[in-house]
Amino acid sequence: MTLQDILSQKVKDAIKSLYDTRLETVEFQATRKEFEGDITIVVFPMLRVVKGNPVAIGQAIGAYLQEHVAHVTGFNVVKGFLNIVISDGYYIDFFKNTPTWDTFGRVAPGNDAIMVEFASPNTNKPLHLGHVRNVLLGYSVSQIVEASGKKVYKTQIINDRGIHICKSMLAWQRYGKGETPESSGKKGDKLVGDYYVRFDKEYKKEIADLIAQGISEEDAKKKAPIIQQAQQMLLQWEAGDPEVVSLWQTMNGWVYDGFDQTYADIGVDFDTNYYESNTYLLGKEFIQEGLSSGVFTKDPDGSVWCDLSDKGLDRKIVLRADGTAVYMTQDIGTAIQRVKDYPDINGMIYTVGNEQDYHFKVLFLILQKLGFGWAKNLFNLSYGMVDLPSGKMKSREGTVVDADDLIKDMTATACSISESLGKIDDFTIQEKQKLYTTIGLGALKYYILKVDPKKRILFNPEESVDFQGNTGPFIQYTYARIESILRKASQDKLRSTTDIVSLNPKEKQVLKTLQLFPETIQLAAFQYSPALIANYTYDLVKEFNSFYQNVPIFAAQHTQEKEFRVALCGAVGAVIKTAFSLLGIQVPNRM
């Protein structure tokens, strides 16, 4: 049981004993640093069931706890806040009774399984900064949910069909002159993306020409020859035209290879891939079932709709009048297919930008109306966009920040800063390059993941690689410092021990923060928020650095103190490493 669990039950016992009434919940918060105490109980919410002065109530509860809880050694009340002092022995026992710090906080996976969808790119362009936030969020949530005790399947649906794909294909046909990734020396996704940009430039030229001839802009956008040819190509693809399908397969193959390389560089993977070209017809059979059961209705023109007005929404089309599927149809079918493919999953998390919030609200409601019990466990991990100091990114205009270029730039920035510090002169070239990549990627991932997913991000690369403050490199540097301490302890033949009877206040604060890690994992998994893990890690590092700067380790008077402090350093290092692994970030042994 956690400290909060113990105190919560005892506070309820106190309310029953002192006031003969029942308290449902107990609210806790961290004790403010200007007051004595290790944990604070908020009295104000209790006034709903206990009438009286909050200070007097706090005094009475505090006295009860001091009498009935062995590790409560004192208390004080400030207005409606009861600050509880916990004995050193409680934290020492916690430290002694933690069998291994390498797995501390993790729960072995049970039978409950969940699928996390993330990435889901289009095959007409390389991954960019917006995709990076999606990928990092989805992967980190997968790691956190797994650490909380669930089995996790990581998946993506690759959007490999549609007019946007045909735009790149047509531009390559017109202007490519047989260019390939091998002949150009470009990654396949970059090459295809270049032709997507080229299409847009040519399209705008044709629109301008038509407008100059007196055609309205709206009509010019429809009548431009290049867009009409792209639409014709899409019809040919859907009809199975061998030449178009072959080109589609070739160019998509280039993009898949490029995606795989980028994913490997970022450090993420997937258990399975779904392709829109295989799934876009899924769901149509369930439309008929929904019509039979009254979930859907058919309009006179033959189109099929779902009325969600009882849920405060409007009508949503699920099948066009000509019988063709819409995106909603596809997503209904894909969700059902995934449960067929993975029968043990009891829910899905969709990592998608917040511009799609309404779509997923509708999807989840329709699946529930169709009677699928697992649909109540669907969640849209909605996130805000990523902006740059220069403004919003636009793929078709080629103004996005390419993911590969971003990784290179982050690595170069990490190189520049690390070289200026002059602490790795004895590293080999290979060791330096690995370190720069670790720091650069750590900076990028931490900067993005420390922000609540729902918030929009203004990404500043230079700020993210700062070795001070709430950044990935600052935490990595602290880990490297701990590794240095452990190496010195090994050289001095110091063993790690927990045999100690009292604590320095700084040691106690570190132990208090360590103890919060398991519940932080559970809360982050419940809220699908890597930001909770990131900011917990920063708090732990701040407490450790305060301890390190104020408490001697190797200069301690007694060997027992040295060995305990070495053990404490090892525990902090292990938790930092675990926490960062949940964010998909590596930690270096030296910096």
Two tokens, residue 160: 């490999």
561 pLDDT more than 60: yes
Which amino acid is located at 236 in the chain?
Q
Residues contacting residue 177 through CB under 8 Å, at least 6 positions apart: none
* Across 181-201, average pLDDT: 96
541 close to 533: Cβ distance less than 8 angstroms: no
572 pLDDT more than 80: yes
Task: Tell me the C-alpha to C-alpha distance, in Å, between residue 50 and each of 56, 77, 227, 276, 529.
Answer: 11, 17, 72, 59, 35
> What pLDDT band is residue 374 in, cutting at 50, 70 and 90?
very high
At 287-317, the pLDDT tens digits run: 999 999 999 999 999 999 999 999 999 999 9
Residues contacting residue 302 through CB under 8 Å, at least 6 positions apart: 321, 322, 323
At 96-140, the pLDDT tens digits run: 999 899 999 999 999 999 999 999 999 999 998 889 999 999 999
Q: What is the pLDDT of residue 396?
A: 47
Choice among 162-166, 329-333, 466-470 with the minimum mean pLDDT: 466-470
Nearest-5° Cα angle at 565, 564 to 571: 90
Q: What is the pLDDT of residue 460?
A: 85
496 pLDDT more than 60: yes
395 pLDDT more than 70: no
Closest CA to 317 of 379, 366, 375: 366
Name the pairing type of β-strands 113-117 and 81-86.
Answer: unpaired
CA 27/CA 450 separation, integer angstroms? 25
* Across 258-280, average pLDDT: 95
- Percent share of the chain, pLDDT over 70: 98
More confident residue, 396 or 349: 349
Chain centroid, CA 431 distance in Å? 29
Every domain of the chain and the residues it spans: 3-86, 162-270, 403-582
584 dihedral zone (left: phi>0; alpha: psi -120 to 50; beta): left
86 close to 65: Cβ distance less than 8 angstroms: no
DSSP designation for 37: -
577 pLDDT more than 90: yes
CATH number for the domain running over 3-86: 3.30.1360.70
Give the DSSP per-residue string, 200-266.
HHHHHHHHHHHHHTT--HHHHHHH-HHHHHHHHHHHHHHTT-HHHHHHHHHHHHHHHHHHHHHHHHH
At 207-266, the pLDDT tens digits run: 999 999 999 999 999 999 999 999 999 999 999 999 999 999 999 999 999 999 999 999
Backbone angles phi, psi at 423, to 5 degrees: -105, 5
Strands (DSSP E) contained in 26-127 are 28-29, 39-42, 72-78, 81-86, 113-117
At 454-492, the pLDDT tens digits run: 999 988 888 888 888 999 999 999 999 999 999 999 998
Q: What is the pLDDT of residue 390?
A: 65
* Across 505-530, average pLDDT: 96
Fold classified for 403-582: Isoleucyl-tRNA Synthetase; Domain 1 (1.10.730)
Task: Tell me the C-alpha to C-alpha distance, in Å, between residue 150 and each of 141, 382, 384, 516, 529.
Answer: 12, 21, 26, 20, 16
Residue 52, SS3?
Answer: coil
At 40-74, the pLDDT tens digits run: 999 999 999 999 999 999 999 999 999 999 999 99
CA 193/CA 399 separation, integer angstroms? 12
**Mean of per-residue pLDDT scores for the chain:** 94
CA 454/CA 7 separation, integer angstroms? 33
CA 141/CA 351 separation, integer angstroms? 9
Choice among 103-112, 361-370, 412-421, 436-445 with the minimum mean pLDDT: 412-421
Q: What is the pLDDT of residue 2?
A: 85
> What pLDDT band is residue 393 in, cutting at 50, 70 and 90?
very low
Chain centroid, CA 65 distance in Å? 40
> What pLDDT band is residue 499 in, cutting at 50, 70 and 90?
confident
Closest CA to 573 of 549, 540, 550, 547: 540
Q: What is the dihedral of CA 456, 458, 459, 465, to 10 degrees?
A: -110
Residues contacting residue 500 through CB under 8 Å, at least 6 positions apart: 92, 560, 561, 564
| Straight-line distance from the first to the last Cα atom of the chain, in angstroms, rounded to the nearest whole number | 38
Q: How many CB atoms lie within 10 A of CB 522?
A: 17
Closest CA to 145 of 393, 376, 473, 377: 377
Beta-bridged to residue 113, according to DSSP, are 151, 345
Two tokens, residue 183: 């002949």
554 pLDDT more than 80: yes
498 pLDDT more than 80: no
Two tokens, residue 113: 């399984």
Strands (DSSP E) contained in 125-175 are 151-158
* Across 577-581, average pLDDT: 98
Closest CA to 50 of 24, 76, 30: 24
Q: What is the pLDDT of residue 399?
A: 56
175 close to 201: Cβ distance less than 8 angstroms: no
Length reported for the chain:
591
